[in-house]
Amino acid sequence: MNNAQLFERAQQVIPGGVNSPVRAFRAVGGTPRFIARAEGAYMWDAEGQKYIDYIGSWGPMILGHGHPAVLEAVLSAAREGFSFGAPTEREIELAEAIVAQVPSIEQVRLVSSGTEAGMSAIRLARGATGRSKIIKFEGCYHGHADALLVKAGSGLATFGHPTSAGVPAEVVQHTLVLEYNNIEQIEEAFRTQGSEIACVMIEPIAGNMNFVRAQIPFVKRIRELCDQHGALFVFDEVMTGFRVALGSAQSVYAKAIPGFRPDISVFGKVIGGGMPLAAFGTTRQIMQNLTPLGPVYQAGTLSGNPVATACGLATLKEISKPGFYEALGAKTQRLVAGLTQAARDAGIPFVGDSEGGMFGFFFTSELPQNYNVVMATDKERFNRFFHGMLDRGVYLAPALYEAGFVSAAHSDADLEATLTAARAVFATL
């Protein structure tokens, strides 16, 4: 069956024909590509069309698809058993590997998804502080837990306005939503409600409004305010964790802010190497609030399952090798610089940014600093660019507000083929 036939078939038994909304191509229009297989930096759809893949399963495939060492680890673990519902040594090894690379973490709890890790981190923050209110920022996505599906308004903060049906207003009444990179708003929130705030949760590099960095002064001020008012600072590194640096995004900020550490960190994607696995971690003292030691409940039947931990461990071993991130970052920078130059040569407003193996770009003249600016960029031009690239065998994220990912498997030839395609598409825009 071709892609269109598969999509029609899927819509009969799956809402919208997809199991995660962005896959439906609603933002860009057209028919989703149904992927049959992947290898290295490439994917092939149901019609046999080959694509250079810059989604990488939305970040986990930092080594590319089917890396031999990871594949062997997964097959070996699968032969021993898929899941036991009991502790395994490999869970300890993965936890040790994460703790070894992230100085802010002394203990970690493994779970199965980024959403699960994010909601558990908030519950832990509330339990540890005895407070109810949380702060998040518009454009930052922390999973689809009810308390986090809240819409921001034009004022300081908006309470009780869910962005999803099925979320009662009373569930989100304690969630404050502020503008990303707005120091004045976060200061005002703490000035008026600081004693009630359990935590501030942020994507340090927001990958769900394409690619937008939290500015250094902004992160520094949040850290100061949390310390002053007894709130916890939560870094959601589901996307950036081990993707932008071996020490994750927090290590990037620590270079600019001496002594910087978040209080709680949330990880996913890369630590599972493509398998369903995520984690949250913090100091031993805060983690003592978590069951079975403390009153904050969290559990999961498949948490730390042996196949996923094998995949994650093998991935972390490979990316820990000397020079890995230097090479990955150089590839990503070359891609973004090439796209920017190609757009400039075509007279098209275009800006891009990257860190490690994560990148983003916008059809505008300056890098956006918050969600409203991102959404005001040229969406229609992006959509035409997306389809032009897709037609030429380059698979980018099918939405203006999603980041892209380069893997170790992308070759110089892949990058050049991508830039050649981009030059041709820019000429049509």
How many helices, marked H, and strands, marked E, lie in the chain?
13, 16
Say which residues have a Cβ less than 8 Å from residue 128's Cβ, sequence separation at least 6. 198, 232, 286, 289, 296
- A 10 A CB-CB count for 292 gives 6
**Catalytic residue (choose from 42, 51, 54, 141):** 141
User: Catalytic annotation on 391?
Assistant: no
**Catalytic residue (choose from 133, 136, 180, 236):** 236
**Cα–Cα–Cα angle for 174, 120, 360, rounded to 5 degrees:** 85
Cα separation, 115 vs 119, whole angstroms: 6
136 - beta bridge partners? 177
Phi, psi of 107 (to 5 degrees): -140, 155
DSSP 407: -
Cα separation, 315 vs 302, whole angstroms: 20
Cα–chain-centroid distance for residue 153?
24
The one-letter amino acid code at 255 reads K
Cα separation, 86 vs 226, whole angstroms: 37
User: Catalytic annotation on 133?
Assistant: no
Phi, psi of 354 (to 5 degrees): -155, 160
**Looking up tokens 């380069």, which residue turns up?**
406
User: Catalytic annotation on 321?
Assistant: no
Cα separation, 368 vs 365, whole angstroms: 9
Residues in the chain: 429
**Catalytic residue (choose from 133, 136, 269, 331):** 269
Query: Would you please indicate which residues are annotated as catalytic (active-site) residues?
Result: 141, 236, 269
